[in-house]
Amino acid sequence: MSILMQYVDRFHEILDKHADQRTTNWFMMSSPFPTLFICLSYVYGVKVLGPKLMENRKPFQLKNVLIVYNLFQMVFSAWLFYEMVHACWWYYFSKFTEFMDTIFFVLRKKNDHVSILHVIHHGCMPMSVWFGVKFTPGGHSTFFGLLNTFVHIVMYTYYLLAAMGPKLQPYLWWKKYLTVFQMIQFVAVMIHAFQLLFIDCNYPKAFVWWIGLHATMFFFLFNEFYQQSYQQKKKRKQQTITNGMKKDHQQNHQTNGMTNGSTGNSSGRRDAADYYVKGDSLAASELNLRKSYTTTE
């Protein structure tokens, strides 16, 4: 144990030697281990402990809590955006408050929302930002935080409106563009970071790669999410419509061959096909068809 503690002390000496002295004594800035412990606890909590505790419980209804939480995050992000140069530690702290995004998913038993992208994004950001606040608070490093807080203003505005209930759903058609906005953010961060590989401004090259590769990783993760959530869903929808039209044609052909001009039956077939194309199950279309036959008889 004493040997291990010697390595830990040596590690802290190296950190303090290269750290920015303005932030050394700030809360949780003296060592990365508390942040690492919280991040690992978060991952374990949302992927293992939380779902197990909620397994035999009813999902919580958190509408009012979500409204308050998202309003807080929106205002907090707006303040950080305004005060970015002076608020790098609070930006670090905001990465912990964002853990609640996932915790609310678990409490509402929406475990399918706790995706790999979601957990990686929230789980590694506090640790990543810790190094920035410890060694390079201000200057070139603040661009990522400044842009990210602006994105979060928009994002939590969306979540706030979504939490207010179905009456606002028609006005939330721009959800997929929010994901595009996030990807544009990462492209901008990559360009801003990697430019220093060609321009010497006395900024640590290690942090150029640290920030740039983070942005690259998140860009590809968000792009994969976008493809799965919107592009593939659009293709499946188009395929469903095509199959529905083929099914409708076959049914009409068979109906016309069997009944030859029965107006009631033909109408019933069209209604069934309409419901099928709109995405209802085949059972629902058959039920509608039987109702149509009953009415005409």
Decide if 12 is catalytic.
no
DSSP 101-149: HHHHHHHTT-GGGS-HHHHHHHHHHHHHHHHHHHH--SGGGHHHHHHHH
Q: Which of 121, 140, 152, 214 is catalytic?
A: 121
DSSP summary character for residue 230: I
DSSP summary character for residue 26: S
Buried b (16+ CB within 10 A) or exposed e, 69-99: bbeebbebbbebbeebeebbbbbbbbbbebb
Q: How far is CA 144 from CA 38, 138, 179, 249, in A?
A: 23, 11, 17, 55
Q: CA-CA distance, 27 to 253, in Å (whole number)?
A: 75
Q: How far is CA 281 from CA 105, 249, 251, in A?
A: 28, 18, 16
Q: Where are the beta strands (DSSP E) in the chain?
A: none
- Residues marked active site are found at 121
